[in-house]
Homo-oligomer: A and B are copies of this chain.
């Protein structure tokens, strides 16, 4: 009945993973992860790191292996992975690889609120986005090529970057498609959206539909006492 709550952050996982290579102190963990470019896929904040390690210690997933000092620099606490920690690490990794978790990308949120701006402005913004995505893609691909060709780093160490590139490419492609549908009016509703912004009035044609009615019903004009 050991409680398995919390400590689910990617940072916590990366700490366990790194310690599975041998005892280390927190700063060293961060340095290694950075050196390997893992900070591109995992958000590493020094402020968080030390708290996370302490919490992992509380749960018995890591333990202090001793303290060391070089010269008169501040004392470093060296941690090691416990058996429980190794088990947790593997369990969480299995979970994370084996099943998708619901996430909330900022762009999805933005799309869901895009109605606030008029469609023609949105088209321009989406075009900006595509341009920037293309630049990022070119950069990321060049970096990958460099690491593989010059540094002779096996591709297997770079799958997470290849994944990121693939997703970025998919997004760019999808946005390009959306821009087209918006521009040529293929996408059902854009015309009404446009006139709605021009006139400020909710399209009469939509009023009739069921979803519009229940939507209105959600927002009763309630009597309000003016403040002050």
Is A3 located at the chain interface by the 8 A CB criterion? no
A116-B219 in contact (CB<8A): no
Question: Across the interface, which residues of B come within 8 angstroms of A113, CB to CB?
Answer: 13-14, 17, 38, 93
Interface centre among A10, A156, A170, A210 (most CB of B within 10 A): A156
A144 CB contacts on chain B under 8 angstroms: none
Whether the pair B155, A107 counts as a contact (CB closer than 8 A) is: no
Contact with B along A157-182 (1 / 0, CB 8 A): 10110011011101100100010000
A78, A151, A163, A189, most chain B CB atoms within 10 A: A163
* Copies of this chain in its oligomeric complex: 2
* Contacting pair B188 A154 (CB below 8 A): yes
The answer to whether A99 has its CB under 8 Å from any CB of chain B is yes
* A24 interfacial by beta-carbon distance below 8 Å: yes
Chain A: residues with Cβ within 8 Å of the partner, total of 97
Residues on A facing B (Cβ under 8 Å): 10, 13-14, 17, 20-24, 28, 31-32, 35-36, 38, 41-43, 64-68, 70, 78, 89-90, 93-94, 96-101, 103-117, 121-122, 125-126, 128-129, 132-133, 136, 151-157, 159-160, 163-164, 166-168, 170-171, 174, 178, 187-190, 192-193, 206, 209-211, 214-215, 218-219, 222-227
Besides A68-B225, A108-B163, A154-B189, 9 more A-B contacts (Cβ < 8 Å) are A66-B226, A68-B222, A78-B224, A94-B121, A98-B128, A99-B129, A105-B167, A109-B160, A154-B206
